[in-house]
Structure 1
Amino acid sequence: MTSLHSSQEEILVVGGGIIGATISLALSRRGASVRILERAEPGGLATHAAAGILGPMNETDRPGPFLDLMRQSLALYPEFVASLVEETGLSPDLALDGILQVAPTPADRAELERRHLWQRAIDPEVAFLDGPAARELEPALTGPLDSALWYPKEGHVFAPRLIKALFGALTRRGVVVEQGVEVVRVRPEPSGTLAVLDNTGRIRNARAVVLAAGAALSAIGIPGPPVRIHPVNGQILAVRSPGSFYRRVVFYPPHGYFVPKRDGTVVIGATEERIGGRTRVTPAGLLEFLSPLAGFAPGLLSLPLHHTWSGLRPCSDDALPVLGPLPDCPNLFVAGGHYRNGILLAPVTGEILAEMIMGQDSPLASLAEPFSPARFMKDSGQPHQK
């Protein structure tokens, strides 16, 4: 069959969520011709469901490559957002006002002390606070509170506005976005290009392909063993807050978090449910992260409900990202498995994948090595630990 898009200079990005969009923008800024293939709505099931938290220290229980990758991405965020604002005039409401991780009771204190011991060696600004000091930073903490960890460099971004700004920049650059395209297979051609087949039988040719399809990535046929990505449903809600009473992102492990947004809402989440490719919102799921708030932030439970929603987080077999080319197909790249951290990891993923695809030397390349798809191939050794 003759390809409908035969330009060997074109790079196809499969998936129009935060990861696919950021990679596409990074490629376009390097002069590449890029086309995005999206099976549903740009923004994806994970991006629109995201609370937009930018908190590397909360996502790991030890130092290592995963923390290094997240911290590097957080360091890229101010410039990443500033470039989007300059290019589109759209602000994603980046707020690096700090994050609190709280211990509501004395029984929870030991875990915070353990975390503080190794985290302060990485960032001396990480502080251990008593209850009154934590309340000064977040007045919503009106109930009993033993202690907290304070991460002053972390924060959040408004995910829907971020994806809007990204697609505004892509549109200005002439990046084509094809919606309603469900890619089912990618196969190497004798010419060295890749053929991308969709569910209608249409074929597109490309010199390189990036699989950034989120929770749907595993369903795409590729050369060799599949890269397994599992969908994890996350339920979440938002309440409407008066004025600016709520100030900080607050984590209350293991139950959840709340995130005050600049539009006057407070996002509260989230569940983690392995129920296949379905999304759902249930009373039981909402109670899972709402009930603990009655103890230390009861005011949140009396605020007007704004809305509820859910989305699918893409989780790999070892719950770590999958970044880079397939070992046996060097022009087929995977950017998936970002799980709870797609928003946080978007800037560093975009830079790393764009530099790999364009064949550029990158100071970030070493950060991606532990997350290569090769770790899942036969005889590749044990998965890396989170």
Structure 2
Amino acid sequence: MVNFTELFGLERIFVNSGSFGIYDGEQFQFQSSDFALLTAMKAFWRYGRDIHRLSSWIKDNVLQKFIRIYDHQMNGYAFTTVKDLLLSMDPFIANLTTRPLREVLEEEGFSERFIKELVTVAVRTNYGQNTNIHAFVGAVSLAGAQESLWAVNGGNKLVAKGLLEKSKARLIRAKVTKIVLLKESNSIQYELEYKLNNGRTEDDDSSQSSIYDIVVVAVPLNKKNTDLKFEDFSSALHSFTQPFQRTVTSLLKGQINASFFHSEQETDLPTSIFINKEPYFINSICKLSKDVWKVFSQDLLTEAEKDLLFKKIYETVIYDWQAYPEYSSSQSLPSFLLYDQLYYVNAIESAASAMEMSIIGARNVALLAHNHWHSLLDFIDETPAMYSDADKTKKEL
């Protein structure tokens, strides 16, 4: 993402989240101060050195191994499965997907209070789940809570727009409804049936089709996200039964009810309130601007729930979607290859759902398709030789 923002001249905005509080449904367990030094002192008093230790653990044990994938991809290596891609970084990374986040952090010596409060709200806010998610996606969630978090000014869509324009690809604005395998003795092609996005109704039968040598699926293949059909395959494709986590984002313009959070007035509230109670009707509520609030929840807010949070509501905008997989340490890691010349970008989401992960998954699929097409088999599922510490030192010298 950093390279893309530089390539397209996009501005990166480092997120200043303002003040925050951890609310357990009855009271604030922790609340930051307007003064950074005071916040640091309060955090140290409550959590000891765990915040600093977590940052070091993510950097030293996860990120330093994770970034190896960039060298692998720069050198043209691709991997058929998510597991093999993670193994190419380090077996430690792949192993994190088989263990609950809570278990790993406890083993590393982090306190129960720290895990139950700061870690829990980070996971709950980012993924709507708890610390039973697997430890790799947990580490991604915690990395996203670090101070270096940034956003693209104007939205991530500008990155996609820039990539599309630079590639000079022909974009057909349509909904693909069916992928049909056309198999002859020595060749494979695919017929894609689709409906143009031309304002007609879903029931309109004006389908069109085109034939392709290579097809890349870039949508989660679970029933709630797509009704894409596959036809004429001699064997069934992998069954994608992993459930996805529903996330409802409500943007509300109105007057917050500070008394609900046991505060006298709005100015007493932190700008971001993270909920540390399960179950609870919201995951978080954050102030975006004057009288505009963003609420994350797992279900649509009822009118009664809105009345608890707000004295008055002037306008509401709702985004209700299947946001990311429901993560566990027992889930499977699927393949990027559905069938010969048929690829699946969103397999990467089984490891973690994030913009950077999606880009890594997409690049892996592009390399995998290229290497298959040109029979570059030495660059598929082969982990590049890593420098030993001695060799690395010599190179640096």
Q: TM-score range by the shorter chain?
A: 0.3 to 0.5
TM-score normalised by L of structure 2: 0.45
Relative to the length of structure 1, the TM-score reads 0.46
